[in-house]
Amino acid sequence: MSDKTTHFGFQQVPVAEKAQRVRDVFDSVATDYDLMNDVMSLGIHRLWKRLAIDMANIQPGQHVLDLAGGTGDLVLLIAPKVGAQGKVVLSDINNAMIRTGRARLLDKGIAGNVEYIQADAEQLPFPDNSFDCITMAFGLRNVTHKQTALDSMYRVLKPGGSLLILEFSRVSTLLRPAYDCYSFSILPRLGQLIARDAASYRYLAESIRMHPDQKTLIGMLESAGFERCDYHNLTGGIVAIHRGYKF
């Protein structure tokens, strides 16, 4: 990979094209995104997200930024925790996902303490030291320059604040053959059947393999300035929760 190209799944593409390609993927799947999440994880993604938010220890009155917030699963959990005096910003690079998330949250009565901002995680449009907590679920692997994004997150986090990233990671050796079979043979077929889009779910499987493993991501968090970094594997390492703190 040269300075002018990056990976989009297993493909090498010009750096300038990746963000648009990712947008195209999520434009395609936005309306079926929640259903596909339930089907492809057998609903377990909801438990992963609840565990992640429990670990974030969000308090009433805090300001929380949910990056790659998509259809609002995390915001649905965060908004009641920060309460009327707090604020949650749902941010995503993809406008179709934000529209879907906003409609879904409004339908569930989540309104007064939530804002919606379309933004690139690499160039967050917020002042320094703005948020008590930043969360990001299943979004970091789609970012072109991950270290730049982590640096940006560190900048907008308040001293004493925490970053929590929930992301697909490296599975245990024992699970790998079955997981690879599911990822590359079954998942694209489910995508075609439910979302009428096999290619986007093939990209999903490929992007997971190209994402940094647990220990590499810890190193990236530390390079951005985060301290007391740790990770917790869930479901045999299919996903991992990474945490870091700004002091």
- Residues whose CB falls within 8 Å of the CB of residue 98, separated by 6 or more in sequence, listed in order: 69, 90, 92, 116, 118
DSSP 8-state class, residue 191: I
Q: How confident is the model at residue 196 (pLDDT cuts 50, 70, 90)?
A: confident
Burial of 247 from C-beta contacts in 10 A (0-12 / 13-18 / 19+): exposed
Query: What is the pLDDT at residue 35?
Result: 81
DSSP 8-state class, residue 75: H
Average pLDDT over residues 216-226: 98
- What are the tens digits of pLDDT across the range 42-71? 899 999 999 999 999 999 999 999 999 989
- What are the tens digits of pLDDT across the range 65-119? 999 998 999 999 999 999 999 999 999 999 999 999 999 999 999 989 999 999 9
Both structure tokens of 169: 């990671």
Lay out the sheet containing 227-234: strands in order across. 114-118, 87-92, 63-67, 131-137, 157-168, 239-245, 227-234
Neighbours of 24 (CB within 10 A): 14
Average pLDDT over residues 192-217: 91
Mean pLDDT score of the chain:
93
Q: How confident is the model at residue 32 (pLDDT cuts 50, 70, 90)?
A: confident
Separation CA 233–CA 61 (nearest Å):
30
Distances (CA, A) of 84 to 62, 69, 78, 124: 10, 20, 12, 24
Neighbours of 31 (CB within 10 A): 12
Query: What is the pLDDT at residue 2?
Result: 52
Answer yes or no: CATH 3.90.1150.10 is held by domain 43-170+214-245.
no
Do 64 and 86 form a contact (C-beta atoms < 8 A)? yes
pLDDT higher than 90, residue 133: yes
Q: How confident is the model at residue 24 (pLDDT cuts 50, 70, 90)?
A: confident
Do 96 and 118 form a contact (C-beta atoms < 8 A)? no
Separation CA 31–CA 23 (nearest Å):
14
Domain definitions of the chain by residue range: 43-170+214-245
The more confident residue out of 200 and 129 is: 129
